[in-house]
Amino acid sequence: MKKLIVMLSFLKRNLLPLTVIAVTMTVSLFMIITTVGEYQYRSYARKVFADSGLAHSVYFCRGYDPLREDRDSNQWIYDAAAAYPAFSQTVTYTTDVDSLEGEIVNVMYQSDALLQAFRPKVSRGRWLKPDAEEPEAVLGGFACKGRRLGEYITLEGGVTARVVGLIEGNALWPSFNRSGTRMSADDLFESVDSCAFINAAQTDPALIERNRPQRARNAIICFKEDADAWEIAELRAFLEQQGLCYDYETLLLHADEDIADALRRALPLPLFLVTVMSISVLCVGAVILQRSMSEQAKYYLIGCSKREGILLITGALFMAFLVPILLNTVLAMCFPHFLRLGRYSEPEYIINGVTLLPMGGYAAVMLILLWGMPRLFYKKLSPIQVYRRNLS
Amino acid sequence: MIQMEHISKIYQVGDAPFYALRDVSLHIGAGEMVAVRGRSGAGKSTLLHIIGGLDTPDEGRYMLNGLNVGEATDAGLARIRNEQIGFVLQDFSLIDHRSTLYNVTVPMLFGKTPFSQMKTKALDALEAVGVSDQAHKAVSDMSGGQRQRVAIARALVNDPPVILADEPTGNLDSETTEEIMKLFVSLHERGKTVVIVTHDEHVASFCDRSITISDGKII
Ligand SMILES: Nc1ncnc2c1ncn2[C@@H]1O[C@H](COP(=O)(O)OP(=O)(O)OP(=O)(O)O)[C@@H](O)[C@H]1O
Ligand SMILES: [Mg+2]
């Protein structure tokens, strides 16, 4: 408490340079949060896909022909594939656009296989489970607003489900509609800002089919665990006659390449800025130190130890750090939507508690460096030598 | 009170060792008022800094009031400076941008005085040196004589047994010197041990005895 008074005196004395440090650190920490947030966003789909346990499968896709295509035009291929000994199951879904109390909501009816494979992070409650006793829903994005866990929702289409989980912010939405010559795990997902995931197995099929909902054009085709290499090759050969196949490893590999590529483009600017700003903070710290040393020598004269003197300086710098740390923490925890442009724009960041760890680490490293400076200084010159120098 | 045996302070200048103090043995009893004299560069300030625990000797043994200063840690020395010693220096060494009251309070911020007593004690100390009416003035707005009084008040506020002064009147005119010296004499009369480094014959004449240093040695 007593030392706080001395520290405040020191703060007051160095208000301007400390403000410079606080502002610079605010920007620095913000850059770190957004960069980490962007990395989390870019790598989130990959992570969900990697955790899916779909190693024993291929993503099968076909080119799109609007003239021949209807929503069940791939069904015969899946039926034919089912005849092969390596075939285990098709992972797919049905989507519909429905409305919930007047608000448009994208609805996805997930097969047990799908909801077991992809488990997005749920902010509250839990994800869907296969052996549920009734239709259950996990709401995402704007559909969460005003919803409570455990309540029942009824879509305009007639489906009633119990809310078991909420995904605040945009939800990751499996999307097996894309096809191309280079697919990555990221291509199997989209970000949706208002949605409901419902387990298909527990829901009345007649209600699901009432609006003639969309089928996923493509699908993930799983192989039996005990299928041998020859049997798998046989099924793949059949599928590749009809379209393209991407296995789990290839999809992850492509995702890794895409993430690395995105980082190569996204990193240089923040890295450069953070480096420049870190150096500025250290330089301003050195200036503050130099300015304070003669005052420190006076405190030394009347009973401040070297260690206390160093702690006083570092303490004041820590206070200057507190503002940017708090500001950025509040931003990250309370306003993750701050970085999003508007109602329907896609977010490019995932900001959460995890994002704060690198920020805290960086702030700690900076503080340790700033704490090392007066220590180094006192190694070279004792306070009484500082005092003698200032005298002459 | 102050007991030094074979104290040396050695600075490395280039390759050769330089003895700022060489084999100094010194005894100053409690309540004495002593002048330390000598030519410029003789080692007077160095001696005073070692007495006050600002600097540590390289050789010898130094006891202050029963405490082994030579073996004290950083924190131990800080405590000795805070509780046992009051410094008054030629350039006042006050924190210029703060008020008189703050300057006199600082030693208590590093000591054990409870919060509630700090202001009264600081004002008492200012009263004792005759500048209590200037308590809220910034030090930078005061005259040299007033500043030295504030410095003395700061040295007194923790009631240390030893007052060390390094050319306390070096920057003051003769009239103010007279007043400041009278303050030191009154401290001496109150039982403090006072050591004053000075060039000035007149200043030395206020003291009980004189020690002369030449080239780091007492003669
Ligand atoms: N850090 C240092 N490195 C080398 N020599 C030093 C150092 N500090 C002091 N000295 C030397 O020690 C000697 C004693 O210095 P000191 O300040 O004690 O002299 P002084 O008697 O107080 O002189 P003055 O009357 O001018 O104040 C001087 O010759 C000085 O050059
Ligand atoms: Mg001197």
Per-residue pLDDT tens digits for B93-102 = 999 889 999 9
Mutate to test the interface with A, among B80, B96, B109, B113 (most CBs of A within 10 A): B109
Residues with CB under 5 A from ligand 2 (ion): B 45
Residue A301 and residue B54: Cβ atoms within 8 Å?
A: yes
Per-residue pLDDT tens digits for A89-103 = 999 899 999 999 888
Distance between CA B141 and CA B100 in Å, rounded?
Answer: 10
Quote the pLDDT of residue B60.
92
Per-residue pLDDT tens digits for A178-230 = 888 899 988 888 888 889 999 999 999 898 888 888 888 889 999 998 989 99
Residue A340 scores a pLDDT above 50: no
Counting ligands in written order, which one lies closest to the CA of residue B19? 1
Whether chain A has a CB inside 8 Å of the CB on B47: the answer is: no
Quote the pLDDT of residue A356.
86
Q: What is the mean pLDDT of residues B19-35?
A: 94
Quote the pLDDT of residue A339.
52
Q: Smallest CA–CA separation between A294 and chain B, in Å?
A: 9
Quote the pLDDT of residue A384.
84
First to last CA, chain B: 21
User: Which residues in chain A have their CB less than 8 angstroms from residue B108's CB?
Assistant: 2
Residue A346 scores a pLDDT above 80: no
- State which residues form the domain around B25: 2-218
Cβ(B219) – ligand 1 distance below 6 Å: no
Q: If you average pLDDT over every residue of chain B, what do you get?
A: 92
Q: Which of A3, A306, A384 sits opposite B74 (nearest CB)?
A: A306
Quote the pLDDT of residue A338.
56
Residue B95 and residue A300: Cβ atoms within 8 Å?
A: no
Tokens of A366: 């900076």
Residue A65 scores a pLDDT above 90: no
User: Which residues in chain B have their CB less than 8 angstroms from residue A9's CB?
Assistant: 95, 98, 102
Residue A174 scores a pLDDT above 60: yes
Residue A335 scores a pLDDT above 80: no
Distance between CA B199 and CA B212 in Å, rounded?
Answer: 10
Q: What is the mean pLDDT of residues A375-384?
A: 87
Distance between CA A201 and CA A337 in Å, rounded?
Answer: 34
Per-residue pLDDT tens digits for A1-43 = 788 889 988 888 899 999 999 999 999 998 998 888 888 888 8
Domain boundaries, chain A: 2-43+265-391, 93-213
Residue A121 scores a pLDDT above 90: no
pLDDT band at B206; cut points 50, 70, 90: very high
Q: Which of A6, A295, A303 sits opposite B78 (nearest CB)?
A: A303
Q: What is the mean pLDDT of residues B47-53?
A: 93
Contact in structure between A114 and A92 (CB atoms under 8 Å): yes
Distance between CA A241 and CA A222 in Å, rounded?
Answer: 17
Q: Which of B49, B82, B115 sits opposite A384 (nearest CB)?
A: B49
Residue B83 and residue A303: Cβ atoms within 8 Å?
A: yes
Residue A307 and residue B82: Cβ atoms within 8 Å?
A: no
Longest CA–CA separation in chain A, Å? 97
Closest residue (by CA) to atom 4 of ligand 1?
B11
Contact in structure between A159 and A216 (CB atoms under 8 Å): no
Residue B28 scores a pLDDT above 60: yes
Closest residue (by CA) to atom 7 of ligand 1?
B11
Count structural domains, chain B: 1
Q: What is the mean pLDDT of residues B59-70?
A: 90
Quote the pLDDT of residue A44.
86
Q: Which of B74, B75, B81 sits opposite A301 (nearest CB)?
A: B81
Residue A341 scores a pLDDT above 70: no
Q: If you average pLDDT over every residue of chain A, what do you get?
A: 87
Cβ(B38) – ligand 1 distance below 6 Å: yes
pLDDT band at A342; cut points 50, 70, 90: very low
Tokens of A102: 């007047």
Question: Which residues, 6+ apart, have CB-to-CB distance to B5 below 8 Å?
Answer: B25, B60, B61, B62
pLDDT band at A71; cut points 50, 70, 90: low
Q: Smallest CA–CA separation between A28 and chain B, in Å?
A: 33
Per-residue pLDDT tens digits for A52-64 = 888 889 999 987 7
Longest CA–CA separation in chain B, Å? 54
Query: In this predicted structure, which of A277-291, A314-328, A375-389, B41-55 has the lowest mean pLDDT?
Result: A375-389
Which of B7, B13, B46, when mutated, tests ligand 1's pocket best, judged by the most ligand atoms within 8 Å of its CB?
Answer: B46
Which of B44, B166, B197, when mutated, tests ligand 1's pocket best, judged by the most ligand atoms within 8 Å of its CB?
Answer: B44
Quote the pLDDT of residue A181.
87
| CA of B44, closest atom in ligand 1 | 21
pLDDT band at A67; cut points 50, 70, 90: low
Q: What does A279-309 look like in DSSP terms, one character per residue?
A: HHHHHHHHHHHHHHHHHHHHHHHTT--HHHH
Higher-pLDDT residue of A68, A189: A189
Distance between CA B50 and CA B197 in Å, rounded?
Answer: 13
pLDDT band at A337; cut points 50, 70, 90: low
Cβ(A385) – ligand 1 distance below 6 Å: yes
Q: What is the mean pLDDT of residues A303-326?
A: 91
pLDDT band at B6; cut points 50, 70, 90: very high
Q: Return the amino acid letter for A284.
A: V
Question: What's the predicted TM-score (pTM) here?
Answer: 0.80
Cβ(B110) – ligand 1 distance below 6 Å: no
Q: Which of B160, B158, B206, B159 is CA-nearest to residue B184? A: B206
Cβ(A99) – ligand 1 distance below 6 Å: no
Quote the pLDDT of residue A216.
86
Residue B107 and residue A5: Cβ atoms within 8 Å?
A: no
* Phi, psi dihedrals of residue B206, rounded to the nearest 5°: -75, -15
Contact in structure between B77 and A309 (CB atoms under 8 Å): no
Task: Using a pLDDT cut of 90, give the percent of chain B over it.
Answer: 80
Task: Using a pLDDT cut of 90, give the percent of chain A over it.
Answer: 44
Contact in structure between B82 and B159 (CB atoms under 8 Å): no
CATH (domain of B199): 3.40.50.300
Task: Using a pLDDT cut of 70, give the percent of chain A over it.
Answer: 94
Residue A344 scores a pLDDT above 80: no
Whether chain B has a CB inside 8 Å of the CB on A334: the answer is: no
Q: Which of A294, A114, A273, A289 is CA-nearest to residue A188? A: A114
* Gap from CA of B166 to ligand 2 centroid (Å): 7
Query: In this predicted structure, which of A185-189, A336-340, B108-112, B135-139 has the lowest mean pLDDT?
Result: A336-340
